[in-house]
A = this chain, B = another copy of it.
């Protein structure tokens, strides 16, 4: 029973048992097993992006008796190796992460700059991430007559859940006696969501990256 600390790739004929939040077993076959030195474990099949079984960073692994056992909190994966086909240990594996652009945060900033044009209203103040007991409002814009514009921003296509978010925040502001108007702002919106907005007197404004 040896503790494994290093990263490796193993292509092997194996079978896998998992138990934790859920439970699964994967029948014997050829799989790609990847372990990173932060504890991450992935067992990949021939198709799809998502691993057949996995454990996030922090898992601890041991090997003995042709079995890898990886444990993290209440979750356990047992990999039984029937035949090892290809093994490799990557060296100097890079830790870098990609630099992203076009995120929701950036979209919020662009909206803030053009806020009066988008709302067609004279705005005194725009508060990002305004905290309520029902969660944070992406953008809260207040006009000269103390009308509160509740704005939910989505970087992709907005769905019904974005509309119910707005309603929930509006409900809170109404509870504390504010006048409110609700908005979803996104590059696109599903037809069902648009229908729901209309029925509930909410508004959608198209915005672009």
Contact = CB atoms under 8 A, between A and B. Distances in A.
A165 B196 CA distance: 13
Given A133-B192, A133-B195, A164-B168, A103 B22 contact: yes
Contacts of A47: 36-38, 40, 57, 95
Nearest to A46: B93
A32 interface: yes
A102 interface: yes
Interface string A43-87: 011111101111111000000000000000000000000000110
A204 interface: no
Given A45-B97, A52-B97, 14 more contacts: A9-B11, A11-B88, A16-B98, A23-B102, A24-B98, A26-B97, A30-B92, A30-B94, A32-B34, A36-B46, A36-B48, A49-B54, A86-B88, A88-B88
